[in-house]
Amino acid sequence: MNSKRNAAKTAGAIYLITILTAVLNMIFIESKLSVEGDIVHFVNNIIDNQMFLRMSIMFEFIMFSSVFVLAVCLYKLTKDIQKEWAILALVFRAGEAVIGGLAVLIGLGVLLLINGQYTINHELIYLLLELRS
């Protein structure tokens, strides 16, 4: 019973971390990055505000890592009640974490394009940023 209680507390704390990082990222970081208008203006805003992009990637990494830990904690809590549903929920939450991890990798790819020795193609960067969101 004590392990269930610890798993419940951990799941609650991780869930709060997940929600807080997502909300902070949307309100304070991504609102500074998104610009209405043409592709060139949007990509130039990303290039000028690389620190916000880095912070957004960091918040997303924390959030999706938390989602994975949350999936395991929730599985521990529910596996004794209905094992098949618990496994299904684990698979979906872990899938969410994997897809989020891909978004983080795309963000890192954008940073490589911006900072690397590659020719910057505004349309490619815009496409990658659209895939990320």
CA distance 109 to 96: 20
CA angle 107, 19, 10 (to 5 degrees): 115
Q: How confident is the model at residue 1 (pLDDT cuts 50, 70, 90)?
A: low
Which domain does 13 fall in, by range? 2-132
The model's pLDDT over 27-60, given as tens digits with 9 standing for 90+, comes to 988 877 777 777 777 778 888 888 888 899 999 9
Counted domains in the chain: 1
The structure's pTM equals: 0.80
At 114 the pLDDT is: 80
DSSP secondary structure, 61-109, as one string: HHHHHHHHHHHHHHHHHHTTT-HHHHHHHHHHHHHHHHHHHHHHHHHHH
